[in-house]
Structures are given as structure tokens and as C-alpha cells.
């Protein structure tokens, strides 16, 4: 194994890479993801004790620049019961501004699982299907002159995103929903999302390099607010305002073989209800664009109106293409009304093994996690196991890239558009 001293040197080198990318020769022009992709991704979490909703995903992700016309890009994510599609028109509004239209929908996308004090209340949970149409504007605030190179931090891509759309959730009882529990009325809503993103992260299990600072707002206007539950003991708010921000850094260190990813995420909701709360828990990194992971906890176990979450992943090469994994997370949680529990700090740690094929087309991770502060019938502490698989259909056998090539690739891929995964797809 490599020494801690080597790792410390590698962390310093990562900072050097971030600075070096500013001298790379590839200009950053596009806001829509410019990289062709064909990925199959699968993830699953299984609690060792207790019962929880099924927590997993399986989908095919396709991104095709030059679809039909040179300035069109098609993005599609297809799961067994859900699809999310976007057709983007690069430079349609201006040389730095792209426009896109999107369509999403299918079954089980808006399921709701009531989890209180570490216990899944199936009699208060219900199914939710959804359909959505939207349009988006992606704007690059700091374009470079054609053929020029970044020379300062101010020239790392700073993107603005504005999305407006309409979504309707169609709720239904599950086989376990109590007969005396009234589920919400079907919920049509208009929404707007606005955000600023400096840098970015690719929709991969372990991107070679990533840096991001971003801040976001999403507002929802619900057209069917009202009471539901047992004799109307909970409600759907007519309007909701969500705010969140993320700082992220990740790098694969070529000198040591380590991979390190660190994330700090914070969020708050105004006029929150159970359906709009931030939900933390589990280790499914591609279940959403902004995954809120806490190892050892059920997927989306904690509901928060305000939170601060820090998490990290470190891999250590051992033999051949095998790695040891270590990961952890800690969060300060202000609970959604009605879902409070003793204590506001929650932490979890985990470890496992990973394997990468010779051409990096296949990646596999399996791990065990301990939710240190998770509430269970036996007291504090919970355990689960899980796995992640990624198959990159576009990978081919090739020589390892040089540092210069990696830096240039990083500049290009920092410009990826927002990734919208399949949050709560398969809960039942």
C-alpha cells in the first residue's frame, strides 16, 4: 500500500492540477454536455436489520452531441419504468446561450415513504407516478475568445441555468396503505429552477477530475394543495421554495492510484411539507443530481427543512485493478415538522472493495456501511450493504492519458450540463 505521506503529496498535487487546468489549450464554450456518452448504471442498498423501501436504480444514459444536426444534442436516461429526455439547441439564443426542451415521466417516480424514528410506516406511505414537460436556458458567463486558453480562475466555466416547467404527480395507494389514511390529491404544479454553477461533475461513479461550486433555487406553485393523512393531520403546501448549494472536489491521483472525492452540501426549504423536504440517507450516488448520502442509513431516511452535509470517498489501490474503499458522512439536520427525532447530528462510515477493468469500461464497488446515529428498535446504530456497477459502452482499449491530456479533458468535462437522476424511482 502507498504511504500516507504519498497521499499527502498527492493532495497537494491535486491543487496543482486545478491551477494547471487554467493553462490548458481547450476553450470552454458549450453549456450543454459536449461529451458523447453511453452508460449503464446500477445501484442497490440493502439494510441488514429493519425494513425499508426498496432502494435501487438501473438505467441507461445516452448523450449524443450532433444529433440530427451539428448544434443539436440529445440526452436520454431510460429506466425500466421511467424516462427523462432533453433535446438541446446549442447557441440558439446567442453564441454563449443554449436552449433545451425536456420531457420526463413514468411510474413510481414520486413515491413517498414515511420513515419516522428509524421505522418505515408502510401504512402511511403511498405510490406516486409523474409526468413533466420543461424548457431550459443554459448560459456561459465567461466565454473565451476562439482558440484561446484559460489563464486564471475567473475563466473556469461559470454557467447559469434557468428551467421552467409543469409537472403532475398521480398518487395511488400501495397494498400496505391504511384504509383510514387519505392519500393526497393528484398534484399538478408549475416550477422554476435557477442556478449558478462554477465547474461541474460528470454523471459517473468516479470522474477522473471534478471541481464545483454551485447555488440553486427552485420554486413550486402547487395547484391542488390540501390536507391528507389520518383525519387531515398533514398537508400539501400551495407553494414551496427550496434553496441549496454544493462545493465539490474530486481527483484520481496518477502517481499513487488513489481517488478522493469530497462534498459539502447545504439546503433549506420555506413552506416545507413532507413532499418537498430534503431527504438524506443511503449510499446511491447517481440516484439524483445532488445526492444526500449518509452511509448506513435507509435511503432518504431523514427529512429536513434545513441541513448541512459533508461526505467523502477515498480509494486505496491494493492488488492489480482492485481497490479498498473508505467513505463517510456527517450531517446537521433541522427536521421537517412531524418527523422530528432526538438529536440533530447524524454520521455514518463505511468501507468496501472496488474493481475497474483494464480499459475502465467496467467499474464495480461493493461495501458495508454503519449508520452511527441511526435510530432502530435496538437503539442507535444501523448497518447495510450495497453495490454499484457502471458499464461505459464507449470505452475502448487505449494507452493511459498523459497529465496534459487529463487536464484538457477536465476543462472540457467540467462543462457538463446538469444531471437529473431517478430519485425515489423504485420504492414500494
| CATH number of 57's domain | 2.40.160.50
Q: Name the domain count of the chain.
A: 1
Max mean pLDDT among 146-160, 220-234, 397-411 falls in 220-234
Domain presence at residue 366: yes
Mean pLDDT of the region 411-425 = 44
Residue 198 to residue 214: CA distance in whole angstroms: 6
Supply the pLDDT for residue 142: 86
Tens of pLDDT, residues 145-193: 765 655 666 667 899 999 999 999 999 999 999 999 999 999 999 999 9
Mean pLDDT of the chain: 86
Bridge partners for 59 per DSSP: 41
In a domain, 388, yes or no: yes
Strands (E), 253-301: 259-270, 278-280
What domain range is 292 assigned to? 4-413
d(CA 50, CA 116): 13
Q: Please report whether residue 384 resides in a domain.
A: yes
Kindly state whether residue 270 falls inside one of the protein's structural domains: yes
| Residue/partner pairs of 15-21 with CB below 8 Å, 24 or more apart | 17/209, 17/251, 17/403, 17/406, 17/407, 17/410, 18/211, 18/249, 20/403, 20/407, 21/150, 21/156, 21/209, 21/407, 21/410, 21/411
pLDDT digits (tens, 9 = 90+) for 60-100: 999 999 999 999 999 999 999 999 999 999 999 999 999 99
Whether residue 418 is contained in a domain is answered as no
| Cβ neighbours around 205 below 10 Å, total | 20
Is pLDDT at 400 greater than 80 in this prediction?
A: no
Indicate whether 426 belongs to any domain. Answer: no
Q: Among 11-15, 91-95, 349-353, 372-376, which stretch is predicted with the lowest mean pLDDT?
A: 11-15
Domain assignment present for 269: yes
Distance CA 145, CA 165 (A): 33
Question: Looking at the domain assignment, is residue 279 inside a domain?
Answer: yes
Amino acid at each position: 500500500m502507498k504511504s500516507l505521506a504519498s497521499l499527502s503529496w498527492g493532495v497537494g498535487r491535486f491543487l496543482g492540477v486545478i491551477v494547471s487546468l487554467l493553462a490548458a489549450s481547450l476553450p470552454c464554450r458549450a453549456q450543454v454536455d459536449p461529451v458523447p456518452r453511453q452508460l449503464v448504471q446500477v445501484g442497490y442498498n440493502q439494510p441488514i436489520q429493519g425494513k425499508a423501501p426498496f432502494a435501487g436504480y438501473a438505467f441507461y444514459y445516452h448523450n449524443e452531441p450532433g444529433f440530427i444536426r451539428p448544434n443539436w444534442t440529445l440526452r436520454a436516461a431510460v429506466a425500466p419504468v421511467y424516462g427523462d429526455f432533453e433535446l438541446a439547441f446549442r447557441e440558439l439564443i446567442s453564441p454563449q446561450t443554449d436552449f433545451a426542451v425536456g420531457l420526463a415521466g413514468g411510474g413510481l417516480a414520486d413515491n413517498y415513504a414515511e420513515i419516522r424514528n428509524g421505522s418505515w410506516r408502510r401504512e402511511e406511505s403511498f405510490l406516486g407516478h409523474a409526468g413533466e414537460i420543461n424548457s431550459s436556458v443554459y448560459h456561459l458567463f465567461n466565454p473565451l475568445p476562439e482558440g484561446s486558453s484559460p489563464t486564471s480562475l475567473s475563466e473556469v466555466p461559470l454557467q447559469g441555468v434557468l428551467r421552467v416547467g409543469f409537472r403532475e404527480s398521480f398518487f395511488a395507494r400501495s397494498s400496505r396503505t391504511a384504509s383510514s389514511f387519505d392519500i393526497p390529491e393528484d398534484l399538478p404544479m408549475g416550477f422554476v429552477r435557477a442556478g449558478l454553477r462554477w465547474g461541474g461533475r460528470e454523471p459517473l461513479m468516479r470522474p477522473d477530475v471534478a471541481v464545483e461550486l454551485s447555488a440553486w433555487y427552485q420554486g413550486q406553485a402547487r395547484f391542488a394543495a390540501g390536507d391528507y393523512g389520518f383525519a387531515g393531520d398533514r398537508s400539501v403546501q400551495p407553494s414551496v421554495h427550496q434553496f441549496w448549494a454544493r462545493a465539490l472536489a474530486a481527483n484520481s491521483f496518477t502517481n499513487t492510484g488513489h481517488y478522493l472525492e469530497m462534498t459539502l452540501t447545504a439546503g433549506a426549504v420555506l413552506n416545507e411539507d413532507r413532499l418537498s423536504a430534503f431527504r438524506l440517507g443511503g449510499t446511491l450516488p447517481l440516484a439524483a443530481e445532488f445526492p444526500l448520502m449518509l452511509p448506513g442509513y435507509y435511503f432518504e431516511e431523514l427529512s429536513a427543512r434545513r441541513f448541512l452535509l459533508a461526505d467523502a470517498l477515498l480509494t486505496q489501490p491494493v492488488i492489480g485493478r482492485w481497490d479498498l474503499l473508505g467513505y463517510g458522512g456527517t450531517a446537521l439536520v433541522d427536521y421537517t415538522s412531524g418527523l422530528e427525532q432526538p438529536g440533530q447530528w447524524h454520521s455514518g462510515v463505511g468501507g468496501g472493495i472496488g474493481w475497474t477493468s483494464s480499459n475502465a469500461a467496467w467499474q464495480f464497488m461493493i461495501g458495508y456501511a454503519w449508520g452511527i446515529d441511526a435510530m432502530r428498535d435496538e437503539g442507535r446504530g444501523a448497518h447495510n450493504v450495497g453495490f454499484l456497477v457502471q458499464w461505459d459502452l464507449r470505452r475502448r482499449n487505449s494507452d493511459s492519458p498523459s497529465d496534459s491530456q487529463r487536464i484538457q479533458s477536465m476543462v472540457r468535462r467540467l462543462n457538463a450540463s446538469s444531471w437529473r437522476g431517478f430519485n425515489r424511482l423504485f420504492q414500494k
